[in-house]
Amino acid sequence: MQLATWNVNSLTVRLPQVLDWLATHPVDALVLQETKITDDKFPREAIEAAGYKVAFFGQKTYNGVALLSRNEAQDVVKNIPGFEDDMARVIAGTVDGVRVIGAYFPNGQAPDSDKFVYKMRWLDALENWLRAELLTHPKLVLMGDFNITADDRDVWDPVTLKDTIHCTPQERAHFQALIDLGTHDAFRLFEQAEKSYSWWDYREFAFRRNRGLRIDHILVSDALKASTQACVIDKAPRKNERPSDHVPVVVTLG
DNA sequence: ATGCCTCAGCTCCTGAGA
């Protein structure tokens, strides 16, 4: 079984690339972030024609998430239950017996901003919900655009970027809190190349110079750890014309 | 210097992303 996550930065722009990618990477489920599209305009037909069922939860201009799966997702949940939020950031569903949570974590903008305060509140709520979800669904995968680097290996210049957004101790403590609930950073379960990133700024030839961050993650629960066989970042779509600034991350479960 | 790209939208500039 293969599961993947991809922040597409506008599904309207990236739909052809998503369909191309699925044709060559026929994963069992794919979660998308930053679809930036309202539900009435979601390209359901094109995705179903490619052989996927889809659940989606969007809004105009910002945010927006979707869960594509070969077999229809059961018990779909949108956003964090009990957490008031006017942003579409989370979609969860059970696919082939695995609880799949796709999430677009808040950016946070800057450590001294209101958006950072919201990010911390959102992360608190996510942790409380995940604790409960793990009890009812031991086989669980949380994946998406976390907007957090787990440690300095995930940062192209950890000295210059020390304590800046995505790299603060507060954000990393929250990442660790998710791990402490009984999950594992699937990417780090395996030997990986140094300077492996999932996002590169559009500016200053950042991709060509490999000035990136690893902020797109896949956490697998304790119950899935032993069956986790691989986790790879697929950099190829970053070389497309009009690429997303993020690339897909894929996990293979036995 | 706070932009450099890219995207959406009450679109010819602005806000946001990370």
Tell me which of A20, A52, A96, A104 is the catalytic residue. A104
- pLDDT per position in chain A (254 positions), as tens? 999 999 999 999 999 999 999 999 999 999 999 999 999 999 999 999 999 999 999 999 999 999 999 999 999 999 999 999 999 999 999 999 999 999 999 999 999 999 999 999 999 999 999 999 999 999 999 999 999 999 999 999 999 999 999 999 999 999 999 999 999 999 999 999 999 999 999 999 999 999 999 999 999 999 999 999 999 999 999 999 999 999 999 999 99
The CATH number of the domain where A67 resides is what? 3.60.10.10
Phi, psi dihedral angles at A241 (to 5 degrees)? -70, 140
Nucleotides of B under 7 A from a protein CB: 4-10, 16-18
Closest protein residue to B6 using CA and C1' atoms?
Answer: A202
Per-residue pLDDT at A45? 97
Per-residue pLDDT at A62? 96
Under 8 Å between Cβ of A143 and A3:
yes
Spanning CA of A65 to C1' of B15, the rounded length in angstroms is: 21
Per-residue pLDDT at A120? 97
pTM exceeding the 0.85 threshold for the entire prediction: yes
As a whole number of angstroms, the distance between CA A44 and CA A67 comes to 11
The whole domain housing A14 covers 2-253
A111's enclosing H/E stretch is: none
> To 10 degrees, the CA torsion angle through A161, A88, A52, A248?
0
A169's enclosing H/E stretch is: helix A169-180
Tell me which of A28, A40, A114, A145 is the catalytic residue. A145
DSSP designation for A227: T
Per-residue pLDDT at A174? 98
As a whole number of angstroms, the distance between CA A93 and CA A238 comes to 28
Which residue in A246, A253, A252, A251 sits closest to A18, CA to CA? A246
Per-residue pLDDT at A56? 98
Find which nucleotide's C1' atom is closest to A166's CA: B18
Spanning CA of A185 to C1' of B7, the rounded length in angstroms is: 30
Spanning CA of A136 to C1' of B6, the rounded length in angstroms is: 41
Active site residue A145: yes
Largest Cα–Cα separation, chain A = 47
Per-residue pLDDT at A144? 98
Total domains, chain A: 1
Per-residue pLDDT at A134? 98
Active site residue A118: no
Spanning CA of A102 to C1' of B18, the rounded length in angstroms is: 19
How deeply is A151 buried, as exposed, middle or buried, from its count of CB atoms within 10 A (0-12, 13-18, 19+)? middle
Find which nucleotide's C1' atom is closest to A246's CA: B18
